[in-house]
Amino acid sequence: MHRFTTRCRGAAMAADARRHRALSFAIAATATAAAAATLAISLALSTPAHAQSGGKPAAPAASAASAPIKVGFMLPYSGTYAALGNAIENGFRLYVQEQGGKLGGKDVEFHKVDDESDPAKAPENANKLIKRDQVDVVVGTVHSGVQMAIVKVAKENNTLLIIPNAGADEATGPLCGPNVFRSSFSNWQPGYAMGEVVANRGMKRVVTLTWKYAAGEQSVRGFKEAFEKRGGKVMRELTLPFPNVEFQALITEIASLKPDAVFVFFAGGGAVKFVKDWAAAGLKDKIPLYASGFLTDGTLQAQGAAAQGLETTLHYADGLTNPRDQSFRAAYAKAYKLQPDVYAVQGYDAAQMLAAGVKAVNGDMSRKNDVYKAIGAARIDSPRGAFTLSRAHNPVQDFYLRKVEGTENRSVGIAAKALADPARGCRL
Ligand code: PHB
């Protein structure tokens, strides 16, 4: 049975890979066909753009200006975070489609690697995109442990990196760099926002529970910082290895500790299982459960009744009233027959950030410093609400308090306005 499942998944992935290879090929072919038409325009535009940016020499060859932008997705397409990786890619591709298949006026060629959320394979996977495929930008990833390796390889090669999810505080902290950008959040941010909410409700004794890896531990650290600053006490920090889902003994332990509330970080498949186990253990109406919003984002169909009423903090929510979100949601639903989630938004905004860089250099990606400067200064018109980047290249953004109603994380207000990660240790 197990082997059968594995083989089916392998076959499906192979089909997926074939589909994407075909797509890359089609896009590359389009780029070639379009090259002749765009060449004159590119040449016409390149000189004034260079002159404007300080008299740098003109692009060395017409081919550099007409070559497609090579985007490398390093994302989880298998395992507990597979749905997250797919949503990010969907969001990114939607923005490209809306620009007529281009970014900053240039054709786009996609390459992709399944990182399996496995830190051990991360350096090799990052090198496949950077060294083998020679991409202009890596868009990756979801898992904070994998992210650490990507940051290192991207910095060594001075390759543009846009992080479309992973919150690893280090990436926009001590390991920040001119070429490293994030379209998502730092792990500290949603945890900190929730720490304020729980303290303001008068809760005093809280137990935390998460997977024992950077995302969980850093979310708890953010929560604890805000919560204890306001007089609360984290009485026990419980963990289990990533991506284990044997929650029963830990749930029993929490029940016996009788805290005022519990704060957790789980996401993807693990989040579905935790929310169901928590309700099945009879704790849903006994101990208030709080979390960063990943616990209930992209998971509500599967969590069903067990998730109703849960409150979380995140930089995206259902029921926002800005027109940008409304058009994004309509376009996403039309393209994919799915409702978007926070991961789709982060993918979409990663594409917007890249577009800002490409536009600023008129498509000449060899002008790396100008690309970085433009992305760093961009104001991103995001479905979550417009945001800018901090000096460490992390979004400065509002964190919503959300409550689960049916299959939606309805916004019930703003938990933290324009919250900036402290970027401790960043020397940019
Ligand atoms: C992370 O590993 O940084 C991570 C993974 C999944 C999430 C959020 C953060 O939903």
pLDDT tens, N- to C-terminus, the chain (428 residues): 222 222 223 333 333 333 333 333 222 323 322 332 222 222 222 222 222 223 333 444 445 567 999 999 999 999 999 999 999 999 999 999 999 999 989 999 999 999 999 999 999 999 999 999 999 999 999 999 999 999 999 999 999 999 999 999 999 999 999 999 999 999 999 999 999 999 999 999 999 999 999 999 999 999 999 999 999 999 999 999 999 999 999 999 999 999 999 999 999 999 999 999 999 999 999 999 999 999 999 999 999 999 999 999 999 999 999 999 999 999 999 999 999 999 999 999 999 999 999 999 999 999 999 999 999 999 999 999 999 999 999 999 999 999 999 999 999 999 999 999 999 999 99
User: Do residue 141 and residue 33 come from a single domain?
Assistant: yes
Place of tokens 């690697």: 113
Question: Which has the closest alpha carbon to 397: 370, 377, 415?
Answer: 415
With tokens 């590119």, the residue in question is: 42
**Closest ligand 1 atom number to CA of residue 143:** 2
What local confidence, expressed as pLDDT, does residue 422 receive? 98
- On whether the CB atoms of residues 360 and 373 are closer than 8 A, the answer is yes
Q: What are phi and psi of 387, to 5 degrees?
A: -140, 160
144 C-alpha to ligand 1 centroid (Å): 6
Same domain, yes or no, for 140 and 246?
A: no
Tokens representing 152 are 């290192």
CB of 142 shorter than 6 A to ligand 1 = yes
Per the domain annotation, does 88 fall within a domain?
yes
The rounded Å distance from CA 165 to ligand 1 centre is: 6
Residue 426 lies in a domain: no
Q: Which two tokens stand for residue 164?
A: 């479309």
What is the pLDDT at residue 66?
76
In a domain, 158, yes or no: yes
pLDDT of residue 330: 98
Residue nearest to atom 9 of ligand 1 (CA): 166
Q: Are residues 48 and 163 in the same domain?
A: yes
Domain containing residue 80: CATH number: 3.40.50.2300
Supply the pLDDT for residue 64: 58
Residue with tokens 């890896």: 213
Centroid of ligand 1 to alpha carbon of 187 (angstroms): 8
For ligand 1, whether the C-beta of 291 sits within 6 Å is no
**Residue 428 located in a structural domain:** no
The residue written with tokens 């805290």 in the block is 259
The C-alpha atoms of residue 266 and residue 413 are separated, in whole angstroms, by 23
Same domain? For 94 and 57 the reply is: yes
360 CA to centre of ligand 1 in angstroms: 31
Angle between helices 368-377 and 342-360 (to 10 degrees): 130
CA dihedral for 118, 121, 122, 125, sign (positive or negative) = negative
Closest ligand 1 atom to the C-alpha of 271?
10
The alpha carbon of 371 and the centre of ligand 1 are apart by a number of angstroms equal to 27
Question: Which long-range CB contacts under 8 A does 127-133 form with residues at least 24 apart?
Answer: 127/153, 129/72, 129/74, 130/72, 130/154, 130/157, 130/159, 131/157, 133/70, 133/72
143 lines ligand 1 (CB under 6 A): yes
Separation of alpha carbons 93 and 139, rounded Å: 12
Residues 162 and 253 in one domain: no
What letter would DSSP give residue 293? G
CB proximity list for 35: less than 8 A, separation 6 or greater? 66
Contact 274 CB / ligand 1 (< 6 Å): no
- Are residues 228 and 97 part of one domain? no
Cα-to-centroid distance, 52 and ligand 1 (Å): 40
User: Is residue 137 domain-shared with residue 267, that is, in the same domain?
Assistant: no
Residues 258 and 337 grouped into a single domain = no
The strand pairing partners of 399, in sequence order, are: 416
The C-alpha R_g of the chain, in whole angstroms, comes to 22
Residues 319, 196 contacting (CB under 8 angstroms): no
Of ligand 1's listed atoms, the one at least distance from the Cα of 213 is 2
Instruction: Give, as one character, the DSSP assignment of residue 128.
Output: I
- Per-residue model confidence (pLDDT) at position 22: 31
- Tell me: do 152 and 297 sit in the same domain: no
Whether 58 and 149 share a structural domain: yes
Residue 232 shares a structural domain with residue 276: yes
Q: Rounded to two decimals, what is the model's pTM?
A: 0.86
Q: What share of the chain is helix, strand, coil (3-state, %, to 5)?
A: 50, 20, 30
Same domain, 105 and 164: yes
Give φ, ψ of 179 to 5 degrees. Answer: -100, 5
Ligand 1: distance of its center to the CA of 315 in Å? 13
Instruction: Tell me, yes or no, whether 424 lies in a domain.
Output: no
Is the distance from CB of 408 to CB of 300 less than 8 angstroms? yes
* Residue 166 beta carbon below 6 angstroms from any ligand 1 atom: yes
The residue whose CB lies within 8 Å of the most ligand 1 atoms, and thus the one to mutate among 146, 294, 297, 421, is 294
- Does the C-beta of 215 come closer than 6 Å to ligand 1? yes
Site to probe by mutation for ligand 1, drawn from 115, 142, 218, 223 as the one with most ligand atoms within 8 Å of Cβ, is 142
Whether residue 293 lies inside any domain: the answer is: yes
Ligand 1 atom index nearest CA of 81? 6
Query: Containing domain of residue 174, as a range?
Result: 2-185+322-393
Residue of 75, 84, 221, 315 with the most ligand 1 atoms within 8 Å of its CB, for mutation = 84
Nearest CA to ligand 1 atom 5: 143
**Residue 69: what are its φ and ψ, rounded to 5°?**
-75, 125
Ligand 1, atom nearest to 294 Cα: 10
Which residue, by CA, sits nearest to atom 3 of ligand 1? 166
Q: Is 151 within the bounds of a domain?
A: yes
- Listed in order, strand segments (DSSP E) in 275-324 are 289-292, 311-314
Query: Which residue is closest in CA terms to ligand 1's atom 2?
Result: 143
Three-state DSSP at 276 gives helix
Specify the number of domains making up the chain: 2
- 127 burial (CB, 10 Å; 0-12 / 13-18 / 19+) is middle
| Cβ of 144 less than 6 Å from ligand 1 | yes
At residue 194, the 3 state secondary structure works out as helix
Please name the residue whose Cα sits nearest to atom 7 of ligand 1: 267
> Pairing relation of β-strands 289-292 and 233-240?
unpaired
With a 6 Å cutoff on the Cβ, whether 267 touches ligand 1 is: yes
Q: Rounding to the nearest 10 degrees, give the CA dihedral for residues 246, 82, 150, 136.
A: -170
E-only strand ranges, 17-146:
69-75, 102-103, 106-114, 137-139
